[in-house]
Amino acid sequence: MAETTYNDFVIRFANVNGSGSASANGMFAKALFRMGIPVATRNIFPSNIEGLPTWFEVRVSEKGYAGRREGIDIMVAMNAETFAEDIESLVPGGFLVYDNSKELDVRLRRADINRVGVPISQLVLPEFPNPKHRALFKNIVYLGALSALISIDFEVITGMVSAQYKGKDDLIAPNIHALEIGRNYALNYLDCPLPIQVRYSDAVGDRIMVDGNAAAGLGAIFGGATVCAWYPITPSTSLAEAFEKYCNQLRTGKDGERNFAIIQAEDELAAMGIVIGAGWNGARAFTATSGPGVSLMTEFLGLAYFAEIPAVLWDIQRAGPSTGMPTRTQQGDLLSAAYASHGDTRHPLMFPSTPKECFEFAADALDLADRLQTPVIVLSDLELGMNDNLSEPFDWDDARRYDRGKVLDRDALEDIEAFGRYVDVDGDGIGYRTLPGTHPEKGAFFTRGTSRDEYAAYTEAPEAYTRNMDRLLVKWETARTLVPAPEVHDEGRRAAIVYYGTTALPIPEALDRLREDGVELDTMRIRGFPFDEEVRAFIERHEIVFLAEQNRDAQMKTLLVNDLGLDPARIDSVLYYGGFSISADTIYEQVSDYFEARKLPRLRAVSGRRDGAASAGEVGS
Amino acid sequence: MTFVAKPRVHHPQLPLNDLGLTRRDYEGSVSTLCAGCGHDSVSAAIVQACAQLSLPPHRFAKVSGIGCSSKTPSYFLSHSHGFNSVHGRMPSVATGANLANRELYCIGVSGDGDSASIGIGQFAHIVRRRINMLYIVDNNGTYGLTKGQFSATNDKGSTSKKGVPNLYAPIDLVSMALQIGATFVARSFSGDKRQLVPLIQAGLKHEGFAFIDVISPCVAFNNHNGSTKSYDYVRGHTGNVIEADFVTPGVEITADYEPGTVEDVAMPDGSTLRLRKLDEQYDPRDRVQALSHVQRAAEDGEVVTGLLYVDPDASDCHEILGTPATPLNALDESVLCPGSDALERVNASLR
């Protein structure tokens, strides 16, 4: 028997979607989280309601590695259709937990794995007469069996069942009974526990477990969004739904008045139009969509850029192009978002990596859009948006006031002689705006997508058009100083890796593995576009710069080259675009291949300090 | 067409309204549309309607899409903000604007290309959403800015300026609005200010979605003998079902109406909408009858004008959503931000 390991494995549940497995699988992850063990969950699901294969993967890591890791240690194989491939995906020495009510087909046997058979169908048959219940409780039975097999504190699970069905008390007893059926079978008939186990830890600390979309919906409430217009599209739908759920809890007044307006629009064009109409009229507004929705919104995004109207757009990216893989993750919308629309357009981008950052950026994006009077696009993805992950708890400073940007109220208009909507009074490229209905005599202007002069008067004069386009570039430079700065760890090494968004998840693990080989890398996590000066400086400080991203065409590299005028040869891409989240293995292998291919002696070439380099330091935040 | 700024000097004898303002205070900049364009008459009717109602001229949100019609918000109510947005997407912009500030009067001006072709989806859905606004379509059956292509409201068999017949059946926005549930549906003719002005007033006062389809001939491309949207054709084929006369409490604005059956409909703000029944059988509160009347007349080549349907007890989107009386754009942190204690409770629920 192998040596026992604790709190370090990958378990995957193979189910049929629509079979009620999500609840049991979620409880499994939450139980480990409540035992203080860091977990990262991944729901791998089809674009389908019922009957197709679905997988739920939990990365359990005492070290807190949250990225995906190749290879499955424990496979709970509950889907006959995918049984063969599920067995294949186990690492040698891994454990196959399966329903052995029927004997395992000899052709599916692997000599190098361990089979853990639980006769789940036979066990539930006499206990639950209702066939629908029987199917549901199968999931609970394997959860019970797992509690014995890997030593999950049973009281944690039963406590969760009681909490989950509070108010539906008649469901508590049968669920606990199903848990006990599985647990008792394992204790009585199986070699328990397995050498892969969990034990109580304090590695979670005060962290919370939440998905990025819920965090973003909540952040939009704290940030003062009052109008949300959206159209259902995976994987963004749960963001608007979270906004509504938390609004009902947190934004309903004493007399029942709802201090928010949510419109499920007829399409993404209308969703963006509603956001822009609301932004023009002074309400904080946002929409959430995915790549195909961004495509539909591009005409409006160009209008809002040119007419200078605040708007916030969350793009929860999925694998494109076209319908692509709608339930798989990717970072494929950078270019379509950054330059959305015809003519010379560009939009500030934000790249959150964690649920906490989703919460913060949701509020910050509203400030930024008001300050810059332009659409701000937050690029999350399915990996971050739809999976429960550990996160630092959310926090909010009650002294914080919303930055509504340059808006002249009635008194301010009284005090000025001539109002010019597009006059660059402060030299930052941002004019002063007024809201409809503010003043009987002053401040009214006509908003349009056609060219105009500084006083919002229609003109096609080349000089006026060019002046306006050039002022928008001044505003772009202001944006550069206001978007989130990169997070930099620079210890003066000669090689570095740059990444953003969910590509950050496997980075700590990849760095540890590379370090074992003698490859040490400085890191920079990009958080905003246009790029902060530090982004250029960091890249220029390093001889070898890897850029890890989850798309085929190295879109962030294109943005860097375009926005900063960098030499493309300065950046070596690490790319993954298969639809899962990028794994530490992928990053480790592609970086290692770089050194192998160039026959570079790793320690000397990479880990040496740069001459005159600063000592260990952290720049940005 | 001219770019000369309109002089702001008032004739000393111009009548003042209850706010002490004259009609000139409700005007906009000089129109750049063709001389004789029906759209300019619609703008003038809006000016007259708002001035007579003594509405504050800066308390409007004017929105439009793209096209000749969508230029017109520049030509009325210059003290109010206007937004000339994206082709066919005025309804969504109007929705957002109205959600942000329910206190402003919202006027949307669109055209037949804007609302019946590229924007027909948004048109249908703003009707469903019951945004409290006045939605006017300047309907000329043609694409003017791109030089005279047929639009989707053009009648089958109607010819272009070059004599080419239209091969496709028209879309009737009035029938569509009735079918989807608009609570105020009217049709008028840009050349008939006596009918149009009271309809605009009633539409502005309607607390819900008010739609007026205004046949507005295009003098450049659709005012010839083969057109069914020309001045001559419309004048010769109009069937007037209802004359609407808008009455503010106490003061009747227009008094010189022809005799006939009069029906007063109380408006939510206490004012009265006076409906003049020309057809004894016509009840403007019967949606089904309105729809069949409009369609039967169309079969006979007649354009029914007047107030076709009104629901005096209409509700609007804000009532559906349960939003507060204070405009959403006026709420501050004290109402909008739940604060750190609430956030700590959310954190606890996620552990």
Q: Is there a contact between B91 and B136 (Cβ–Cβ < 8 Å)?
A: no
For A420-440, how does the pLDDT look when each residue is reduced to its tens digit (9 = 90+)? 999 999 999 999 999 999 999
Query: CB distance B84–A440 less than 8 Å?
Result: no
User: Would B123 be classed as within a structural domain?
Assistant: yes
State whether residue B171 is helix, strand or coil: coil
Share of chain A above pLDDT 90, in %: 89
State how many domains chain B has. Answer: 1
Q: How confident is the model at residue A359 (pLDDT cuts 50, 70, 90)?
A: very high
Query: CB distance A277–B93 less than 8 Å?
Result: yes
Query: CB distance A398–B340 less than 8 Å?
Result: yes
pTM of the model: 0.94
Distance of CA A600 to the CA centre of its chain: 35
Q: How confident is the model at residue A404 (pLDDT cuts 50, 70, 90)?
A: very high
Q: For residue B213, give the CATH number of its domain.
A: 3.40.50.970
Q: Per DSSP, which regions of B207-260 are E strands?
A: 209-215, 238-248, 251-252
Report CA torsion sign: A585, A587, A593, A596. Answer: negative
Q: How confident is the model at residue A394 (pLDDT cuts 50, 70, 90)?
A: very high
* Structure tokens, A611: 């001459």
Query: CB distance A283–B329 less than 8 Å?
Result: yes
Q: How confident is the model at residue A72 (pLDDT cuts 50, 70, 90)?
A: very high
Query: CB distance A278–B129 less than 8 Å?
Result: no
Q: How confident is the model at residue A13 (pLDDT cuts 50, 70, 90)?
A: very high
- Residue A199 predicted with pLDDT over 80: yes
Mean pLDDT to the nearest integer, A289-318: 98
CA distance A246 to A244: 6
How high is the pLDDT of residue B239?
73
Measured between CA atoms, the residue of chain A closest to residue B71 is A448
Q: How many CB atoms are located within 10 Å of the residue B248 CB?
A: 18
Q: How confident is the model at residue B146 (pLDDT cuts 50, 70, 90)?
A: confident
- The two beta strands, A389-391 and A571-575, are unpaired
Nearest Cα neighbor of B287 from B262, B312, B252, B315 is B312
Provide, as residue numbers in chain A, all residues whose Cβ is less than 8 Å from the Cβ of B321: 258, 261-262
User: Would B344 be classed as within a structural domain?
Assistant: yes
Which ranges of chain B does DSSP label H, i.e. alpha helix? Answer: 38-53, 68-71, 90-100, 112-113, 120-129, 173-180, 193-205, 231-236, 287-299, 317-321, 333-336, 339-349
Helix axes A462-482, A355-372, angle to 10 degrees: 150
Provide, as residue numbers in chain A, all residues whose Cβ is less than 8 Å from the Cβ of B322: 256-258
User: Would B186 be classed as within a structural domain?
Assistant: yes
Query: CB distance B329–A437 less than 8 Å?
Result: no
How high is the pLDDT of residue A107?
84
Mean pLDDT to the nearest integer, A67-82: 95
User: Would B242 be classed as within a structural domain?
Assistant: yes
Instruction: List the Cα angle A260/A266/A270 in 5-degree steps.
Output: 70
- Residue A158 predicted with pLDDT over 80: yes
How high is the pLDDT of residue A166?
87
Q: Which of A257, A285, A435 sits opposite B322 (nearest CB)?
A: A257
CA distance B47 to chain A (A): 16
Mean pLDDT to the nearest integer, A363-373: 98
Q: Dihedrals φ, ψ of B212, to 5°?
A: -125, 120
- Residue B4 predicted with pLDDT over 90: no
Nearest Cα neighbor of A364 from A509, A216, A247, A491 is A216
Provide, as residue numbers in chain B, all residues whose Cβ is less than 8 Å from the Cβ of A444: 58, 78-81
Provide, as residue numbers in chain A, all residues whose Cβ is less than 8 Å from the Cβ of B335: 253, 259
Mean pLDDT to the nearest integer, B256-274: 51
**Omega within 30 of 0 (cis) for the link into B327:** no
Q: Which of B56, B329, B350 sits opposite A282 (nearest CB)?
A: B329
Q: How confident is the model at residue A89 (pLDDT cuts 50, 70, 90)?
A: very high
Q: In angstroms, what CA-CA distances link A558 with A172, A290, A480, A549, B121?
A: 55, 21, 17, 12, 37
In three state form, how does the secondary structure of A220-268 look?
Answer: HHHCCCCEEEECCCCCCHHHHHHHHHHHHHHCECCCCCECCEEEECCCH
How high is the pLDDT of residue A340?
97
Q: Is there a contact between A64 and A203 (Cβ–Cβ < 8 Å)?
A: yes
How high is the pLDDT of residue A620?
39
Measured between CA atoms, the residue of chain B closest to residue A223 is B337
User: Would B207 be classed as within a structural domain?
Assistant: yes
Q: Which of B74, B331, B347 sits opposite A208 (nearest CB)?
A: B347
Q: How confident is the model at residue B274 (pLDDT cuts 50, 70, 90)?
A: low
Query: CB distance A259–B101 less than 8 Å?
Result: no
- Cβ contacts below 8 Å, chain A against chain B, sum to 222
Look up residue A118 and give its amino acid: V
Query: CB distance B92–A260 less than 8 Å?
Result: no
Q: How confident is the model at residue A539 (pLDDT cuts 50, 70, 90)?
A: very high
CA distance A401 to A126: 62
Describe chain A by its helix, strand, coil percentages, rounded to 5: 40, 20, 40
How high is the pLDDT of residue A19?
83
Q: How confident is the model at residue B246 (pLDDT cuts 50, 70, 90)?
A: low
Q: Which residue has the tokens 């938390």?
A: A246
- Residue B135 predicted with pLDDT over 60: yes
Q: Is there a contact between A287 and A230 (Cβ–Cβ < 8 Å)?
A: yes
- Residue B9 predicted with pLDDT over 80: no
How high is the pLDDT of residue B261?
46
Query: CB distance B83–A277 less than 8 Å?
Result: yes
Q: How confident is the model at residue B6 (pLDDT cuts 50, 70, 90)?
A: low
Query: CB distance A440–B85 less than 8 Å?
Result: no
Structure-model confidence comparison of residues A132 and B316, the more confident one: B316
Task: Identify the domain containing residue B148 by its residue range.
Answer: 23-349
Mean pLDDT to the nearest integer, A75-84: 95
User: Would B311 be classed as within a structural domain?
Assistant: yes
Q: How confident is the model at residue B108 (pLDDT cuts 50, 70, 90)?
A: very high
Provide, as residue numbers in chain A, all residues whose Cβ is less than 8 Å from the Cβ of B97: 277-278, 280-281, 436
How high is the pLDDT of residue A611?
58
Q: How confident is the model at residue B58 (pLDDT cuts 50, 70, 90)?
A: very high
Measured between CA atoms, the residue of chain B closest to residue A221 is B337
Q: Is there a contact between A143 and A24 (Cβ–Cβ < 8 Å)?
A: yes
Provide, as residue numbers in chain B, all residues whose Cβ is less than 8 Å from the Cβ of A263: 95, 99, 129
How high is the pLDDT of residue B279?
65
For residues B193-222, b (16+ Cβ closer than 10 Å) or e, as one string? bebbbbbbbbbbbbbbbbbbbbbbbbbbbb
- Residue A83 predicted with pLDDT over 70: yes
Q: How many CB atoms are located within 10 Å of the residue B21 CB?
A: 21
Q: What is the mean pLDDT of chain A?
A: 94
Mean pLDDT to the nearest integer, B44-59: 97
For B147-188, how does the pLDDT look when each residue is reduced to its tens digit (9 = 90+)? 889 899 988 888 888 888 999 999 999 999 999 999 999 999
Q: Which of B82, B92, B343 sits opposite A273 (nearest CB)?
A: B92
How high is the pLDDT of residue A614?
45
Q: Is there a contact between B211 and B109 (Cβ–Cβ < 8 Å)?
A: no
Share of chain B above pLDDT 70, in %: 85
Query: CB distance B121–A262 less than 8 Å?
Result: no
User: Would B178 be classed as within a structural domain?
Assistant: yes
Q: How confident is the model at residue A452 (pLDDT cuts 50, 70, 90)?
A: very high
User: Would B7 be classed as within a structural domain?
Assistant: no
* DSSP 8-state code for residue A138: H
Predicted complex ipTM: 0.94
Q: Which of B92, B94, B343 sits opposite A222 (nearest CB)?
A: B343
Least confident of A126-135, A493-502, B69-78, B338-347: A126-135
Query: CB distance B83–A280 less than 8 Å?
Result: yes
Q: How confident is the model at residue B145 (pLDDT cuts 50, 70, 90)?
A: confident
- Residue B256 predicted with pLDDT over 70: no
Query: CB distance A210–B78 less than 8 Å?
Result: no
How high is the pLDDT of residue B234?
78
Catalogue all structural domains in chain A, each as residue range(s) with its CATH number. Answer: 5-197 (3.40.920.10), 209-391 (3.40.50.970), 410-474 (no CATH), 487-619 (3.40.50.920)
How high is the pLDDT of residue A118?
97
Q: How confident is the model at residue A343 (pLDDT cuts 50, 70, 90)?
A: very high
